[in-house]
């Protein structure tokens, strides 16, 4: 099973290079199809979309939504047999990247509709549900939304209070509750809603079920929320007052809604990462143009080293984000069994990279960037939500670390049991001894990478070993209590993020070299090397942090402040 997840294997100290080499690519017909869609998107946005006005008016004109529907953008992920375009994950990501480069609000609208809004039907729906819903969702006749978050249930989905009770006839549920911050909540015709169908008992999670709910009497949307960014998206509260939902509208199995939500969010995180990528590219291009236009001391500011360094940093980080995003969509298209860690990594890295790039782009623009007449401040505002959407980055870092550690932890438990029962566990102990010997005698290899990247491959291989060893040490030392040690989990997650990004850059650059030759790939080689050294420094710092840190003091400072100590700094005190 390890071979079905590159990153889960890496937490074991195994490099499943067959999953990432060769780097995936779109093929013939679909590449041409995507190119035509992108050209249509570019023409449409240039002629029909005024993002600044939409942002100021905090709404999307009906004609803009209608235009996107006519282009087929509401049915990109719907298979052709149900009336959609049937794009692969990679092709869909490429179109979402293009939309987000023009307008974040519209990218969010499209993503909320198909990356999460009706994705539950695609993954878990019955054939009857697909035939009934997907054709109208593909054309945009119906707009979808995803209703999970509640006032007391954000990252903790088990705290959901919305309830669905089965009528005595056994054919209808009665849905009551309130969801907040529903993206597309003001325009949606159908909602994927998560509700309790049985209470939590004996310390177990409550049974949560996913439902398809049509807009009808009892389904009420609140006023559009006033937001920092993505203002043109109709984000609202949605309440359900004794709404009749046919039992046939259950998505997946009754009581297994948490599984539906997690699978859908895995897909949504990739859509979000591709949107972040599009915005990064647009901002980098705006920065380059501004650096060439703006003058200081008699020459363009782009000639100064500090500005050049910002541009180089933007390009290398965007290169890494692009490489890891399309590596992951390639894994999805190849039907690799589990891409949950990879998707979460792309979302975390993408959202944080975009935020930093938006900040630096505004900085290069100077005072003009702070003004609403130029798009920098809008991109900055729009960027902020991405680290909150679809699982906060704090929660996702814990997810990356704990999911990654789960396998090694279970293996160590099995080994401990085998030691207690050596005859029964002879085979397991032998396997464990072989793996330990292999780790001691030599490292796992990332094969198939071009020799010009040998130094960076060595960094990847060495720190992959360090990641696995750190997991084993932490599990042995702290046991189950590691689940509460979030600062160590963050270090593991950040190491995993840098390692995945590095692997993606290395395998992608190798593909470019194979196509163009080493001389023709100098830009890509430089981008990868420019990303790799800071990544190596971060990996080293995180590794050192397991042994040398100020965790205890920092936590004590926070506890002191929370318990009434306050800020408490007074130069006159």
- pLDDT, tens digit (0-9, with 9 covering 90-100), for 486-541: 999 999 999 999 999 999 999 999 999 999 999 999 999 999 999 999 999 999 99
Question: Which residue segments constitute the domains of the chain, with CATH numbers given?
Answer: 2-6+23-139 (1.10.540.10), 144-255 (2.40.110.10), 260-394 (1.20.140.10), 400-546 (1.20.140.10)
Angle at 249 between CA 247 and CA 252, to 5 degrees: 95
Q: Give the mean model confidence (pLDDT) for residues 440-445.
A: 68
**Model confidence pLDDT, tens digit, residues 349-366:** 999 999 999 999 999 999
Quickly list H helices, 49-146: 51-57, 62-70, 89-102, 104-110, 119-124, 127-139
Per-residue pLDDT, 429: 40
> Over 60: is that where the pLDDT of 412 sits?
no
**Model confidence pLDDT, tens digit, residues 231-274:** 999 999 999 999 999 999 999 999 999 999 999 999 999 999 99
Q: Which two tokens stand for residue 191?
A: 């909602």
Q: So which residues are the catalytic ones?
A: 390
> Over 90: is that where the pLDDT of 19 sits?
yes
CA distances from 528 to 82, 224, 318, 522, 535 (A): 41, 43, 11, 10, 10
DSSP 233: S
Segment (H or E) for 210: strand 207-214
Per-residue pLDDT, 91: 98
Distance between CA atoms of 143 and 33, rounded to whole angstroms? 24
Q: What is the pTM of this model?
A: 0.93
Label residue 14 by pLDDT band (50, 70, 90).
very high
Please state which of the ranges 35-39, 129-133, 200-204, 306-310 shows the lowest mean pLDDT.
200-204
Per-residue pLDDT, 466: 97
Segment (H or E) for 144: strand 144-147
* 406 Cβ neighbours under 8 A, 6+ residues apart: none
> Over 50: is that where the pLDDT of 419 sits?
no
> What SS3 class is residue 491?
helix
**Regarding predicted confidence, which is higher, 337 or 107?**
107
Distance between CA atoms of 211 and 130, rounded to whole angstroms? 14
Is 436 in contact with 500 (CB distance < 8 Å)? no
Distance between CA atoms of 522 and 528, rounded to whole angstroms? 10
Q: Are strands 190-198 and 172-182 parallel, antiparallel or unpaired?
A: unpaired
**Model confidence pLDDT, tens digit, residues 69-115:** 999 999 999 999 999 999 999 999 999 999 999 999 999 999 999 99
Per-residue pLDDT, 1: 38
Torsion angle defined by CA atoms of residues 486, 487, 492 and 497, in that order, rounded to the nearest 10 degrees: 100
Label residue 434 by pLDDT band (50, 70, 90).
very low
CA distances from 228 to 49, 55, 56, 232, 375 (A): 20, 10, 12, 11, 15
Q: Which two tokens stand for residue 318?
A: 């965007």
> Over 80: is that where the pLDDT of 423 sits?
no
Q: With 0-12 CB in 10 A as exposed, 13-18 as middle and 19+ as buried, what is 342?
A: buried
Q: How high does pLDDT run on average in the chain?
A: 92
Residue tagged 């259950």 (tokens): 250
Is 58 in contact with 541 (CB distance < 8 Å)? no
Label residue 428 by pLDDT band (50, 70, 90).
very low
Per-residue pLDDT, 337: 81
Distance between CA atoms of 68 and 275, rounded to whole angstroms? 16
Label residue 573 by pLDDT band (50, 70, 90).
low
Residue tagged 């049974």 (tokens): 207
**Model confidence pLDDT, tens digit, residues 22-74:** 999 998 889 999 999 999 999 999 999 999 999 999 999 999 999 999 999 99
**Regarding predicted confidence, which is higher, 504 or 431?**
504
* 217 Cβ neighbours under 8 A, 6+ residues apart: none
Segment (H or E) for 272: helix 257-293
Per-residue pLDDT, 205: 73
> Over 90: is that where the pLDDT of 408 sits?
no
Is 245 in contact with 173 (CB distance < 8 Å)? yes
Per-residue pLDDT, 544: 98
Distance between CA atoms of 240 and 225, rounded to whole angstroms? 18
Is 421 in contact with 450 (CB distance < 8 Å)? no
Q: Which two tokens stand for residue 535?
A: 């990544």
Torsion angle defined by CA atoms of residues 52, 53, 55 and 60, in that order, rounded to the nearest 10 degrees: -130
The pLDDT > 90 percentage for the chain reads: 84
Label residue 381 by pLDDT band (50, 70, 90).
very high
């Amino acid at each position: 099973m390890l071979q079905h997840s590159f990153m889960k294997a890496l937490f074991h100290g195994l490099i499943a290079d067959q999953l990432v080499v060769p780097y995936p690519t779109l093929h013939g017909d679909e590449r041409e199809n995507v190119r035509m869609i992108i050209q249509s998107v570019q023409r449409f946005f240039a002629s029909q979309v005024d993002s600044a006005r939409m942002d100021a008016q905090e709404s999307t004109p009906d004609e803009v939504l209608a235009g996107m529907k006519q282009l087929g953008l509401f049915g990109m992920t719907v298979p052709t047999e149900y009336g959609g375009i049937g794009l692969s994950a990679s092709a869909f990501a490429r179109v979402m990247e293009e939309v987000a480069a023009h307008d974040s609000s519209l990218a969010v609208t499209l993503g909320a509709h198909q990356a999460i809004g009706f994705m539950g039907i695609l993954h878990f729906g019955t054939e009857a549900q697909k035939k009934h819903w997907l054709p109208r969702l593909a054309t945009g006749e119906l707009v979808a939304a995803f209703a999970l978050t509640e006032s007391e249930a954000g990252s903790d989905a088990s705290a959901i209070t919305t309830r669905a009770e089965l009528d005595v006839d056994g054919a209808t549920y009665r849905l009551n509750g309130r969801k907040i911050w529903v993206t597309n909540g003001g325009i949606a015709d159908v909602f994927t809603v998560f509700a309790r169908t049985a209470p939590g008992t004996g310390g177990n999670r409550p049974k949560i079920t996913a439902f398809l709910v049509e807009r009808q009497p009892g389904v009420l949307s609140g006023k559009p929320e006033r937001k920092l960014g993505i203002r043109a998206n109709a984000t609202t509260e949605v309440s359900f007052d004794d709404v009749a939902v046919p039992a046939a509208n259950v998505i997946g199995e009754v009581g297994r809604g948490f599984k539906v939500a997690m699978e859908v969010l895995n897909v949504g995180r990739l859509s979000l990462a591709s949107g972040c990528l599009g915005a990064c590219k647009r901002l980098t291009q705006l920065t380059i143009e501004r650096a060439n236009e703006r003058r200081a001391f008699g020459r363009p500011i782009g000639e100064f080293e500090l500005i050049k360094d910002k541009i180089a940093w933007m390009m290398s980080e965007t290169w890494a984000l692009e490489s890891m995003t399309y590596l992951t969509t390639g894994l999805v298209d190849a039907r690799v069994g589990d891409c949950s860690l990879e998707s979460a990594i792309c979302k975390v890295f993408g959202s944080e990279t975009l935020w930093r790039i938006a900040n630096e782009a505004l900085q290069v623009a100077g005072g003009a960037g702070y003004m609403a007449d130029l798009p920098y401040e809008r991109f900055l505002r729009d960027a902020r939500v991405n680290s909150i959407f679809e699982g906060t980055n704090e929660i996702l870092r814990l997810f990356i670390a704990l999911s990654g550690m789960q396998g090694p932890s279970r293996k160590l438990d099995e080994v401990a049991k085998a030691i207690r029962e050596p005859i029964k566990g002879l085979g397991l102990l032998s396997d464990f001894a072989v793996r330990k010997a292999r780790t001691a005698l030599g490292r796992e290899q990332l094969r198939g990478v071009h020799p010009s990247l040998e130094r960076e491959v060595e960094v990847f291989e060495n720190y992959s070993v360090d990641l696995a060893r750190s997991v084993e040490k932490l599990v042995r030392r702290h046991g189950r209590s590691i689940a509460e040690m979030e600062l160590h989990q963050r270090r593991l997650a950040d190491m995993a993020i840098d390692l995945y990004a590095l692997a993606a850059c290395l395998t992608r650059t190798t593909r470019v070299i194979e196509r163009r030759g080493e001389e023709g790939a100098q830009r890509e080689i430089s981008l990868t090397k420019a990303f790799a050294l800071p990544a190596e420094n971060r990996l080293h710092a995180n590794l050192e942090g397991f042994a040398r840190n100020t965790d205890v003091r920092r936590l004590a400072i926070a506890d002191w402040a929370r318990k009434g100590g306050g800020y408490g700094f007074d130069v006159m005190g």
